[in-house]
Structure 1
Amino acid sequence: MSASVRTATAADDPALSALWKRCFESPHLAALHALDPDRHRHTFVAQNDAGDGIDAVVVYVPRLIRDADGIPQRVGGIGSVATRPEARGQGLVRRLLVAAERTMTAEQCAWSLLFTGTPGVYRGSGWQEFASTYTEGTLVPSPADSSAAGAFRVRGATARDAVEVAALHHAYNAKRPLSSLRAPDDWAVRVPAWYGAIDRSLVAQHPVSGAIAGWMVAGHEGDCVQVREFAGSDECLGSLLAAVGSRGRAAGLTLARVRIPVTPGVRAALPGLLTDARQVTEHVGMARPLHATAESVRATVTAPGAVHWYGDCF
């Protein structure tokens, strides 16, 4: 059975929501999709010619992402890729990626970015994997240095902290390769979609001024603490990681994983959270040059300190 490829319309929204609900445990995908005012012409669907629905979808999400020099470039994020189980194996995603590539190129995207656990789906369409690393180890039974850990007051973030947190994030990533520029709508919808409400994150206050010096997002998967994002001064990292470790131990967790670039300050603070620290390399990111050269894209995704925060996912 064949399928025709076209851009989506508003009338497709219920069918898209149903397809995403069937394929993912991600109820927020429709809300993320709604962030793009041009979402329908950036959404490519394979319409079943039998007239019984949409077989597959690929969404192109335009984002401003910093290059190797920290300069924002228009990048085409690829996300919300789904195929009905009955329609898999027909090459529908590859056909949709061709349509997405044409639109991204016409809209002057420098390159395209996606994250996946199934890279083979995208290699044949021109996307190539790149490596990223994280640090993992055993959760410490108690803070390595309790006096250092208590230098900053750590508490749960609140909605009142939102402006300061956004400013910390912007400053911390002002020149960081692969990081996204966050607009107010991203803070209102995208970041909570991936991290939860702001009160699930932590802030560290300066011991003298009381100003917010750092912000950290952490949660857990299975028996592992996951540190997803940090912004702020390295001086408060020890306090924040000690607080994350305390929460993890209270929840009965035994492992810790830190997904923030390793700077000297991070390396010095890690013993407050985990022992037997080891670097793990993964290949979940994929990039495809469009108007940019392959060399410049490779320079961005492999630059020291480069990171695409989980809260910016497409």
Structure 2
Amino acid sequence: MRYRTATRADEAALPALWATVFPGATAMAALWKQDPGRHRRTFVAEDGGRAVSVVHYLPRTIRSAAGRPEVVGCLGSVATHPDARGRGHVRRLLEAAVATMTADGCAWSLLFTGTPRVYESSGWRSFAAPGWSGPLALPPRAGPAAAPLTVRTALAADLPVLRALRDGFDAARPLTTVRSLRDWQRRVPVWYAPPAETLLAEAGGSGARPLGSAVLRHPSPDEAEIVEIALADGGGPDVARALLAAAAARARDRGATAAAVRLPPVPAVVEALPCLLAEATPAVTRFGMSRPVLAAPAEVTATVTAPGAVHWYGDSF
């Protein structure tokens, strides 16, 4: 058994391993190949010349509890071949990953998983993320004419507007990623490929001032999911209501009967929930895990538990 970092010779073997462990999860290999430093940050267990386990970490700039950008070691693409499980490979690879994160100056490490026990013995701890779920709201009854506000599907040409909305809404928001232009152009489209839709709310009239955006996903035929929102200054509950109502209409058109909301509990979002959900039931998840590297444990805890903290689905790794 040999534990090592990846090389060019692994360019085919590792995607094949991921495909075996996670059938259909093509985003994993696609994003891994976007990382120019992937070889030194990918840790492999090799048995008889065959890669049987792998861990990859990507440094990302994430805002702290105080809104300060800091480098975080984002751990993902963890996979072990079924015939090599239960032998401690992941634990050994995690040790190597943390050593490299330390050398690279990472404040802490972040991962998302449905199997937390794999990581707890190596120092990661779960944290909660707020959310709601419930039956999809029915179409609204006709009422008084609303203020001039339109919601449409965003186009490629809207990237500068979407980026400005995201940067403004997240300027000091804990746990959010500082998205670069490259992220917008290459990473975000991987996660928000069709049938996902990005919705853009604009003020009516000439100029069409952008007021907010939201991302609608369709994880299953009968369920819709809101995984991002951004509200401009001055874009409060009315904008959030318009975005969620438009998302509900699109979800109904696709045959959905239920929906989930993966957004921070800011007042505008909470007030707008009835536009999407007929009955909003809290649905807290605990897929996120954090581990201090160079930062003090209390600082890491403050970031992942801060009011309004959120890690957007489009910044997954």
Query: Shorter chain as normaliser: what TM range?
Result: over 0.9
- 1:283 equivalent in structure 2: 286
How many angstroms does 1:28 deviate by?
2.2
Distance 1:29 1:150, change over 3 A: farther
* Structure 1 residue 39 corresponds to structure 2 residue 42: no
What letter matches 1:191 in structure 2? V
Deviates more, 1:36-45 or 1:202-211: 202-211
- Aligned residue among 273, 276, 285 for 1:273: 276
How many angstroms does 1:264 deviate by?
1.4
- 1:61 equivalent in structure 2: 58
- Aligned-partner SS, 1:311: helix
How many angstroms does 1:31 deviate by?
2.3
Q: Separation in 1 of the partners of 2:142 and 2:42?
A: 51
Distance 1:13 1:147, change over 3 A: farther
Is contact 2:67-2:172 (8 Å) kept? Answer: yes
- Aligned-partner SS, 1:248: helix
- 1:211 equivalent in structure 2: 209
Query: Which ranges in structure 1 are unaligned for 5 or more consecutive residues?
Result: none
Distance 1:112 1:85, change over 3 A: same
- Aligned residue among 127, 137, 142 for 1:140: 137
- 1:191 equivalent in structure 2: 188
How many angstroms does 1:275 deviate by?
2.0
- Aligned-partner SS, 1:275: coil
- 1:247 equivalent in structure 2: 250
Distance 1:28 1:146, change over 3 A: farther
How many angstroms does 1:34 deviate by?
2.5
How many residue pairs match? The answer is: 310
- 1:12 equivalent in structure 2: 10
Q: Separation in 2 of the partners of 1:120 and 1:149?
A: 50
- Aligned-partner SS, 2:2: strand
Q: Cα deviations across residues 74-104 of structure 1 (Å, max 9, x unaligned)?
A: 0000000111111111111111000000000
* Structure 1 residue 29 corresponds to structure 2 residue 28: yes
- Aligned-partner SS, 1:303: coil
Alignment of 1:225-236 (within 5 A): 225-232=224-231, 233-234=235-236, 235-236=238-239
Q: Separation in 1 of the partners of 2:107 and 2:114?
A: 24
- 1:174 equivalent in structure 2: 171
**Percent identity over paired residues:** 48
- Aligned-partner SS, 1:161: helix
Q: Cα deviations across residues 184-232 of structure 1 (Å, max 9, x unaligned)?
A: 2211221111111598211111123412211111122332210010112
- Aligned-partner SS, 1:28: helix
What letter matches 2:7 in structure 1? T
What letter matches 1:36 in structure 2? D
* Structure 1 residue 165 corresponds to structure 2 residue 162: yes
Is contact 1:224-1:253 (8 Å) kept? Answer: yes
Distance 1:163 1:146, change over 3 A: farther
- Aligned-partner SS, 1:65: strand
Distance 1:145 1:60, change over 3 A: farther
Query: Which ranges in structure 2 are unaligned for 5 or more consecutive residues?
Result: none
What CA RMSD, in Å, does the superposition of the two structures yield over aligned residues?
1.7
Distance 1:23 1:123, change over 3 A: same
Is contact 2:91-2:122 (8 Å) kept? Answer: yes
How many angstroms does 1:45 deviate by?
0.4
What letter matches 1:195 in structure 2? Y
Deviates more, 1:122-131 or 1:230-239: 230-239
Is contact 2:60-2:74 (8 Å) kept? Answer: yes
- 1:256 equivalent in structure 2: 259
Q: Cα deviations across residues 222-267 of structure 1 (Å, max 9, x unaligned)?
A: 3221001011233311111111111111222111211111211112
What letter matches 1:41 in structure 2? R
Is contact 2:62-2:176 (8 Å) kept? Answer: yes
Q: Separation in 1 of the partners of 2:181 and 2:193?
A: 16
What letter matches 1:192 in structure 2? P
Is contact 2:195-2:217 (8 Å) kept? Answer: no
- 1:301 equivalent in structure 2: 304
Is contact 2:162-2:213 (8 Å) kept? Answer: yes
- Aligned-partner SS, 2:251: helix
- Aligned-partner SS, 1:291: coil
Is contact 2:196-2:218 (8 Å) kept? Answer: no
- 1:128 equivalent in structure 2: 125
- 2:110 equivalent in structure 1: 113
Q: Separation in 1 of the partners of 2:145 and 2:124?
A: 45
Deviates more, 1:196-205 or 1:294-303: 196-205
Q: Give the alignment's TM-score, normalised by structure 2.
A: 0.93
Is contact 2:21-2:81 (8 Å) kept? Answer: yes
